[in-house]
A = this chain, B = another copy of it.
Amino acid sequence: MKDVAARAGVSLGTVSNVLNRPELVSERNRMRVLSAIDALGFVRNEPARQLRGGGSRTLAYVVLDTANPFFTDVATGIEEAAHAAGLALYLCNSGEDGVRESFYLDLLEQQRVEGVLITPVGNDLAVVSRLAARGTPVVLVDHGGGPERCSVTVDDVLGGSLAATHLLETGHERIAFVGGPPSIRQVADRIEGAKQAIARAGTEPLTVLETAALNVAEGRRAGERIAGLPTSRRPTAAFCANDLLAVGLLQQMVRLGLRVPDDLAIVGYDDIVYAEAAAVPLTSVSQPRHLLGRTAAELLLEESRGTAEHVHRQVVFDPELVVRASTNLRTRS
């Protein structure tokens, strides 16, 4: 910047004014400074700027798993809102690793970002609380955090209930839940919702087929277990904790010669793009991913800009059921 000032024949302060309050500078000097900047290829030094001025104009989202399409859609929603407010968004991938998560949180705090959005790895929010206590605004995404924190979630109990209700209405009385481990809050809530709906209907209680993880391979394994049951005890419908499981389950059914939805109806969760693209398009519980992200970003902006007393809010969205061929007998070819 010193060089720019020298080349334009003005003082340091004037260059700074051109950059920050151009209306205070005369036309002539503004031009000279701008052309000097251009000629020298000058690039503002953001760290120095921040040191003096404050704001970093940057938000960060610590993602649980970038490989999961659900989270990347949420991230897109966040970015949209951030961009509208003139802020940049950095994505950090914790990869479900608590150590990496806190590594990134430390870094972001040191970097003095304007605020942090996070889908935390576990249920222990100690690191997050520390961050917030020291003054960095934090919003939890797809994870509740009590009244002293902003959060945005989707009602998983309702989602479970929607799925089970739909299966009951299409005539199923023997329903299995496929998913796990139940220590994941989302899984537990979805089971709970399904159980409630079934209790209301008064039919046979929900069977839970626990899986070790929420991926395609586990879905296939669950498919083997279901197919191995005697017809009399085999469920006529399966509600999967997410679409990856549902896809695996569907694939295994086809392989073993069982028909979907005739022999087994399937409901997934998340409504990822591949759910519709499956050979038998999957009925799935859809979450407003985009809106989830956008709302989270807006809460964060509100918290970070709100001068003094900001009221923490916990926003809960409702999921929706998307019915497709995997449960709908009439649309079968």
Q: Which residues of A contact B (CB under 8 A)?
A: 41, 43-51, 56, 58, 60, 66-67, 69, 72-73, 75-76, 79, 83, 88-93, 95, 100, 103-104, 107, 109-112, 133-134, 216, 244, 247-248, 250-251, 254-255, 257, 273-274, 276-281, 333
Which single residue of chain B is at the shortest CB-CB distance from A246? B277
- Contact for A134 among B41, B89, B247, CB less than 8 A: B41
Tell me the bound Cα distance from A133 to B40 in angstroms: 12
18 more contacts with CB within 8 A, not counting A60-B90, A91-B91, are A43-B134, A46-B110, A47-B56, A47-B111, A66-B75, A75-B93, A79-B93, A88-B92, A88-B107, A90-B91, A91-B92, A91-B93, A216-B273, A216-B277, A251-B277, A251-B278, A278-B278, A279-B280
Q: Is the CB of A45 within 8 A of B76?
A: no
Q: Is the CB of A47 within 8 A of B93?
A: no
Number of copies: 2
Tell me the bound Cα distance from A51 to B112 in angstroms: 14
Q: Is the CB of B255 within 8 A of A333?
A: yes
Interface of A is mostly: helix
A-B contact pairs, 7 of them (CB 8 A): A43-B110, A43-B134, A46-B47, A69-B69, A72-B72, A91-B91, A244-B277
Question: With contacts A88-B92, A333-B255 known, is A112 near B47, CB below 8 A?
Answer: yes
Closest CB of chain B to A129's CB: distance in Å? Answer: 12
Tell me the bound Cα distance from A104 to B91 in angstroms: 12
Q: A281 contacts which chain B residues (CB < 8 A)?
A: 251
Tell me the bound Cα distance from A69 to B72 in angstroms: 10
Which single residue of chain B is at the shortest CB-CB distance from A260? B279
- Contact for A72 among B66, B73, B133, B257, CB less than 8 A: B66
Question: With contacts A51-B47, A254-B279 known, is A88 near B104, CB below 8 A?
Answer: yes
Closest CB of chain B to A257's CB: distance in Å? Answer: 7
Tell me the bound Cα distance from A257 to B91 in angstroms: 44
Q: Is the CB of B257 within 8 A of A333?
A: yes
Q: Is the CB of B247 within 8 A of A112?
A: no
Which single residue of chain B is at the shortest CB-CB distance from A92? B90
Q: A278 contacts which chain B residues (CB < 8 A)?
A: 251, 278-279
Q: A273 contacts which chain B residues (CB < 8 A)?
A: 216
Tell me the bound Cα distance from A72 to B66 in angstroms: 6
Tell me the bound Cα distance from A93 to B216 in angstroms: 27
Tell me the bound Cα distance from A45 to B50 in angstroms: 10
Q: A216 contacts which chain B residues (CB < 8 A)?
A: 273-274, 276-277
Which single residue of chain B is at the shortest CB-CB distance from A41? B134
Closest CB of chain B to A250's CB: distance in Å? Answer: 7
- Contact for A277 among B90, B103, B248, CB less than 8 A: B248
Q: A104 contacts which chain B residues (CB < 8 A)?
A: 88
Question: With contacts A72-B67, A88-B107, A90-B91 known, is A51 near B41, CB below 8 A?
Answer: no
